[in-house]
Amino acid sequence: MASEIKVDTIVNAGGDNDTGIDLATNDQILLKVANATKLTMNSTGQTTIVGEGGTTTTSVQQGLTKVFCKFNGESTIAIGDSFNTSGIDDNGTGQYDVNYTNSMASANNCPNINADQFMSQFDAEPNATRVNMTIRNSSNSTVDTGFISVNVNGDLA
């Protein structure tokens, strides 16, 4: 049989109640340091944390990269590392789609592309399921390259 501990508040050993985890509310968890809330997690899992300056909060979910993919775009397309990427479509010289495993909430997301020393561009407005791109050299010709990276920020569906 599993053990169970039921508490409302976990405080420091000194018992001064200004540092610890407050579990007394039914709808959120608060992490306090020096009697100031530093982290809040609500019942849906939405988590906010105090920012670097100590005066504003940042949504943890909003600040995370939702998709990333590092791949070789030469010869046989090969993913080196990825997250939330279901695969890559090779659409011709220097043209690729990076497809998401889990869709974004809308087309209003922010993809970023890097490709060796070459220029990268979006072939279409971002959408909820993939990013479509073209890689070009300094002569504006499409080119395959060995290092391409994509990351996408925004809200997951």
Q: What is the pLDDT of residues 69-86, one digit of tens each?
A: 999 999 899 999 999 999
Domain membership of residue 142 as a residue range: 67-153
- Count CB-CB contacts under 10 A for residue 75: 8
Please give the pLDDT value at position 5. 76
Please give the pLDDT value at position 64. 85
Regarding whether 80 and 27 lie in a shared domain, the answer is no
Residue 128 belongs to a domain: yes
pLDDT in tens, 87-107: 999 999 999 999 999 999 999
Residue 3 belongs to a domain: no
pLDDT in tens, 52-68: 777 788 888 777 899 99
Regarding whether 49 and 87 lie in a shared domain, the answer is no
Please give the pLDDT value at position 80. 95
Regarding whether 75 and 149 lie in a shared domain, the answer is yes
Prediction pTM value: 0.73
Instruction: Give the number of domains in the chain.
Output: 2
Regarding whether 72 and 22 lie in a shared domain, the answer is no
Cβ neighbors of 29 (< 8 A, separation 6 or more) are 21, 22, 23, 40, 41
Regarding whether 146 and 115 lie in a shared domain, the answer is yes
